[in-house]
Amino acid sequence: MTSASWSGPLLGDRFEVGELLGVGGSAAVFRAHDRVTGEDVAVKIGHAHVGAEVREDFSREAAVAQRLVHPNVAQVHAHGWHDSAGLTQPWLAMDLVAGPSLAAWVAERGPLAPGPAAIAIGQVLEALAAAHALGLVHRDVAPDNVMLDGEGRLRLVDFGLASATGVPAMSAGAADKIVGHVHYMSPEQASGRPVGAAGDLYQSGALLYFLLTGEPPYVRGTAADVLRAHVEAPVPVPSARNPRNRPLDLVVTTALAKDPARRFASATVMGEAVARAVAPRRVVSPVSGDDGTVQVAALDGRTTATTIWQQSFPASSGDDFRESRFGGIGWLIGAALALVVALVWGLAGGDTPVAVAESDSGAATTSAPSPSAVTTQPTVPPVDDRVAVPVLDGTLTEVESRLRASGLAVGAVTRVQSPEVSGTVVGGSVSSGMRVEPGSPVDLQVASGSNVVPDVAGRSAGEAQALLEAAGFVPVMTSPSSGASRGTVVGTQPGALTVLRLGVSVTVEISFAPTGGESETGEAGAGGPGDA
């Protein structure tokens, strides 16, 4: 852009405003030129209705945002207030991230599979963990505010300005005055209550639901109805839209709990749960019994993180994973990266071979030998005669056909409890894509048509309903007597851990409390308007 193109206002005697890049519910985004550094940046200018009443909040939180330096955050360079012909508007200058946003990515290419979605939300949670450590709450975690940069790394934008515009949260009855992304507001924000770090985790759960399904959790006809759904409607389950999403059902429903205290304890804890949910698994030892249960343990499938991310976001590079400090998926990414580095170096004919090692913590490291040990003789990679394990999804007949067509044998077939339809393959002794010797047997786990009733005691009625539906059962909710409101779930009939056929009705027993009074146990009723 030429200097003649900088025709807009000068912000803070430093940033020359240029072309419009986008408009959101709370602000407009412009390209701007930084006179100090000579670089182009993005400036967000709050809409006129974001008035001076939030000046103190904005100034305080934007100042904190400038101290937030993280590879998954668009760095804030400066902030201030601009006198716009009698109106004072907040502005924020930050890194110019190429994009697209996650909203645009999903709109063009469709929902992500659980693996790539887990890595994407993991990067968002890394950014939030760093922000929360500084006492900074984002309050507007939404697909439009997560951008893909030129290196394939996700960057969370709008720290500071999002906080300012999100402070005056409106109730459901004032939906026409809401600023921000109504589809991703936490129940407390939608109700006008204070918003803390738990609100960011709720929005992360809503974002994860969007990545998996292509839609926000609550699709309604009006903004007011969407806000009421955040407060009142049962938590949606992503596998109801696509069965492949089942591994992340519990993560999403926990993050979307109506009560902030029932969500994850922190962004780090949520990220670890995400990583566990998508970790490859294999059968260790079948347990003899009428119920056909099996014990499972994590499989050493550490190259999957890099593979699934590059398949979904081809622009990504190894730097993304080296910079990732998130404990939950760091061990997956670190080992995968080290292996890729070693292979690439060897194939490129580098003079110094790279040694790959794994520490006690599971992180991979690389080292080079001493000069005396270096050889200049080229090495020829050995021929790999192994075959790749095909996709182990579908009916038993379909998977058996794929295995035989790949030159592999069908091993032991074990019936396991699962919410999947009877006869559906739900796992194997090796992961899809792994390379094994020709003729190797692959053990399969097949859904038996039965499942275990989940333990939902202590949860809200909405959460219990969602978890029972995800497990394959039909929840029957007990109704409160006249003049009483719903509290928490005390149990189910049949009870937790009972093995039942899929589609069987399970009665949810709920404690009741007189409206405005005490519960049957003498404590204030825990249920809210969302526990329907």
CA 217/CA 232 separation, integer angstroms: 13
- Is 34 a known active-site residue? no
Phi/psi at 209 (nearest 5 deg)?
A: -60, -45
Q: Locate 158 and state its tokens.
A: 């709008």
Residue type, 34: D
* Catalytic hit among 40, 83, 140, 351: 140
How many angstroms separate the Cα of 482 from the Cα of each of 244, 353, 511, 517, 527?
A: 42, 76, 14, 13, 16
- What's 511-531 look like in SS3? EEEECCCECCCCCECCCCCCC
Q: Locate 206 and state its tokens.
A: 């809503």
Phi/psi at 132 (nearest 5 deg)?
A: -65, -30
SS3 category, 104: helix
- Pure H helices in 214-370: 223-232, 249-255, 267-278, 304-312, 318-322, 327-347
Phi/psi at 367 (nearest 5 deg)?
A: -150, 155
Q: Locate 242 and state its tokens.
A: 């696509």
CA 500/CA 199 separation, integer angstroms: 36
The residues, ordered by sequence, that sit 6+ positions from 96 with a Cβ below 8 Å of its Cβ are 31, 39, 40, 41, 42
Q: Measured between alpha carbons, how far apart are the two ends of the chain, in Å? A: 55
CA 58/CA 483 separation, integer angstroms: 44
Contact 316, 308 (CB under 8 A): no
The residues, ordered by sequence, that sit 6+ positions from 314 with a Cβ below 8 Å of its Cβ are 152
Q: What's the CA dihedral at 37, 42, 47, 48 to 10 degrees?
A: 20
Rg (CA), the chain: 26
Contact 81, 89 (CB under 8 A): yes
How many residues appear in the chain?
532
Using alpha carbons, select from 23, 22, 25, 24 the residue that is nearest to residue 169: 25
| String of DSSP letters for 151-185 | TS-EEE--TTHHHHHHSSPPPGGGGGG--S-GGG-
| String of DSSP letters for 27-65 | EEEEEEEETTT--EEEEEEE-TTS-GGGHHHHHHHHHHH
The catalytic residues are 140
